[in-house]
C-alpha cells in the first residue's frame, strides 16, 4: 500500500428535514466537483428557527480528499 496525501475542503450543507440529510447534501454536491473523497468530519451543527419551529438544519463539514499521484 502506498502512502497517501490528503487535502481538506470545508463545506456547509443544509436541509429542511434532518442533520443527516444536510450531511448527505453537502457530500453529494461536493462530490460533483471533488474527486477521491474519502472521509468527513462534522465540525458544527446549527439550525434556523421560524415561528418557534426548526426550519433548517445546517452542518459544517471538513471533507478529506486524496491527491492523485
Biggest alpha carbon distance in the chain? 54
Residues 6+ away with beta carbon under 8 Å from 23:
13, 40, 42, 59, 61
Domains of the chain, by residue range, sit at 11-66
The per-residue pLDDT for range 7-65, each reduced to its tens digit, is 999 999 999 999 999 999 999 999 999 999 999 999 999 999 999 999 999 999 999 99
Cell of 48: 434556523
The span from the CA of 33 to the CA of 39, in Å, is 15
Indicate the class that CATH gives domain 11-66. Answer: alpha beta
The reported pLDDT for the residue numbered 47 is 96
The reported pLDDT for the residue numbered 11 is 97
The span from the CA of 20 to the CA of 14, in Å, is 10
Amino acid at each position: 500500500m502506498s502512502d497517501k496525501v490528503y487535502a481538506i475542503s470545508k463545506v456547509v450543507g443544509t436541509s429542511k428535514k434532518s442533520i443527516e440529510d444536510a450531511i448527505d447534501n453537502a457530500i453529494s454536491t461536493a462530490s460533483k466537483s471533488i474527486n477521491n473523497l474519502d472521509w468527513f468530519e462534522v465540525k458544527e451543527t446549527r439550525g434556523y428557527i421560524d415561528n418557534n419551529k426548526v426550519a433548517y438544519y445546517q452542518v459544517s463539514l471538513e471533507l478529506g480528499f486524496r491527491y492523485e499521484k
